[in-house]
């Protein structure tokens, strides 16, 4: 098994919330951000953002590096890859890829935002 | 140290020694380390002594070298630091990025493997390639060490 089921549960639970997905997107756009930098993009209290980040850390979707007194947050895509291999990789990638290309084209979205 | 470009963490149910071996032993590396488009396996070749060179080679019979660098720090089985560059930049240290592998045993029988890739800003193309590559490599490594089997290759690499 690629990961223990409790680890996978944490990843899915963490991903089930739009705020946390937004935080992951922010970290994908720019890695190594501080809490303060992330809060500037979020319409909620600093405490709420901290709690969401904590859940992402526990799911190992966010990795943290201390640089001096700054806590920097990084998107850690490794658990996402484990899910991909476990749940998507076994299906026919080429057909899924073709469907996604079609969807992106019909929706006028060439950007890889999915 | 400048701010790392990428930090990847994987928790693996294994020992630090096995993680170390998976990084430096080509017989293990070839079972999980695939190239950006999974066209063939890759291995890392070196004597892994500080100051030595290392090469990232394709396992396809050509032995093509895609990445080169130097071993900066080698402390088995806990820490490996290497530089990372295109072969044309082998002697141009200013264009080398730096990869650190930290292997830390956890209390619950897991090993925390952290891969930190720093100083990549000078090479945006490399940055793009790597952001997709490490999660795949680390995910494969975890599967190999926990199950003894590499991930099945996609039937067609397309």
Q: Determine the distance from the C-alpha atom of residue B35 to the mean position of all C-alpha atoms in its chain, rounded to a whole number.
A: 11
What pLDDT does B154 receive?
A: 47
**Is B143 close to A2, i.e. CB distance below 8 A?**
yes
Tell me what the mean pLDDT of segment A54-66 comes to.
Answer: 97
What pLDDT does B151 receive?
A: 61
| Beta pairing partners, A67 | A70
pTM of the model: 0.85
Reported ipTM = 0.83
Q: Looking at the 3D structure of chain B, how many domains does it have?
A: 1
The torsion angles phi and psi of A29, rounded to 5 degrees, stand at: -65, -40
**Where do the structural domains in chain A lie, given as residue ranges?**
5-77
Fold of A5-77: Arc Repressor Mutant, subunit A (1.10.10)
Task: Identify the domain containing residue B80 by its residue range.
Answer: 6-147
Rounded-to-integer distance, Cα B115 and Cα B138, Å: 9
CATH number for the domain harbouring residue B68? 3.30.530.20
Among residues B28, B37, B41, the alpha carbon closest in space to that of B145 is found at B28
Tell me what the mean pLDDT of segment A78-101 comes to.
Answer: 76
What's the pLDDT band for A1 if we cut at 50, 70, 90? very low
A residues 39-68 closer than 8 Å to B (CB): 60, 63-65, 67
Is residue B153 assigned to a domain?
A: no
Please tell me the distance in Å from A81's CA to the nearest CA on chain B: 6
Q: What pLDDT digit, counting tens, does each position of A42-58 carry?
A: 999 999 999 999 999 99
> In percent, how much of chain A has pLDDT > 70?
83
- The residues of B whose Cβ lies within 8 A of any Cβ of A are 1, 3-11, 13, 114, 116, 131, 134-136, 138-140, 142-143, 146-147, 151, 154, 156, 158
**Is B6 close to A31, i.e. CB distance below 8 A?**
yes
What pLDDT does A91 receive?
A: 63
Show residues of chain B in contact with A76, CB under 8 Å: 7-9
Q: What is the pLDDT along chain B (158 residues), one digit of tens a residue?
A: 578 989 999 999 999 999 999 999 999 999 999 866 667 889 999 999 999 999 999 998 898 999 999 999 999 999 999 999 999 999 998 889 999 999 999 988 899 999 999 998 777 777 766 666 899 899 999 999 998 877 655 443 43
Among residues A39, A55, A58, the alpha carbon closest in space to that of A47 is found at A39
């Amino acid at each position: 098994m690629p990961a223990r089921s409790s680890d996978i549960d944490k990843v899915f639970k963490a991903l089930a919330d739009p705020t946390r997905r937004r935080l992951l997107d922010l970290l994908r756009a720019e890695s190594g951000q501080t809490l303060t930098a992330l809060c500037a993009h979020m319409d909620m209290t600093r405490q709420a953002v901290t709690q969401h980040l904590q859940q992402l850390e526990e799911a190992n979707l966010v990795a943290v590096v201390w640089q001096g007194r700054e806590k920097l947050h990084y998107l850690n895509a490794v658990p996402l890859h484990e899910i991909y291999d476990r749940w998507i990789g076994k299906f026919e990638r080429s057909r899924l890829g073709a469907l996604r290309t079609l969807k992106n084209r019909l929706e006028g979205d060439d950007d890889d935002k999915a | 140290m400048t701010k790392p470009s990428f930090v990847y963490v994987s928790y693996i149910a294994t020992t630090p020694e096995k993680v170390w071996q998976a990084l430096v032993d080509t017989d293990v590396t070839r079972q999980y380390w695939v190239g950006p488009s999974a066209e063939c396996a890759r291995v890392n070749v070196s004597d892994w002594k500080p100051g030595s060179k290392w090469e990232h080679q394709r396992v396809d019979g050509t032995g093509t070298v895609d990445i080169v660098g130097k071993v900066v720090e080698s402390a088995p089985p806990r820490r490996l630091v290497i530089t990372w560059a295109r072969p044309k930049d082998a002697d141009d240290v200013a264009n080398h990025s730096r990869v650190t592998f930290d292997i830390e045993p956890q209390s619950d029988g897991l090993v925390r493997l952290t891969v930190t890739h720093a100083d990549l800003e000078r090479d945006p193309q490399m940055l793009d390639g790597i952001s997709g590559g490490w999660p795949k490599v680390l995910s494969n490594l975890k599967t190999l060490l926990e199950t003894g089997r590499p991930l099945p290759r996609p039937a067609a690499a397309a």
